[in-house]
Amino acid sequence: MLRDELLTLCDKYSVGGKTSAANVTNVIDFGETSSIPGVNKRGGGYLNIQVTTSISGGTAPALTIVDSADNDSFAQVAGTGTISLAGLTAGTVISIPLPKVRRYFTVKYGATAAATGAFTAWVGDKATQH
């Protein structure tokens, strides 16, 4: 599977010891300052998450899709909720249609008790598990 480095949010992001919600590594700047309601000017795409090291332990390890107009104040994208990572094994791939987002976009990882494991997340065509 091919990945664009500029559309990669994180590569082998370790969840070990992390409990409070924090941005993963990178923020994607779509380079647009205005949006038209109901139109995804970014052409759709998918948020792909591949578990690189099995995720275990902890309580409620999850990702939340967030966006921002100013790269400072991030908020959960309406209607997306959280993506549970609990008990996912290495090699598992999750592809979620990318919702309409504002100029800046990333995901936050959080858990109520620390888990172990790692994942990679990127935006692109729908990924498949190999």
pLDDT digits (tens, 9 = 90+) for 19-42: 777 777 789 888 765 454 443 455
Predicted confidence band of residue 123 (pLDDT cuts 50, 70, 90): confident
Query: Does residue 73 surpass a pLDDT of 50?
Result: yes
**Mean local confidence (pLDDT), 100-111:** 85
The pLDDT of residue 37 is 45
Q: Is residue 129 part of a domain?
A: no
Domain annotation covers residue 47: yes
Global pTM value: 0.81
Count of domains forming the chain: 1
Give the integer Cα–Cα distance in Å for 29 and 32: 8
Indicate the burial class of 110 (C-beta count within 10 angstroms; 0-12, 13-18, 19 or more). Answer: middle
The CATH number that applies at residue 26 is: 2.60.120.1110
Q: Does some domain include residue 130?
A: no
By residue range, what is the domain housing residue 108? 5-124
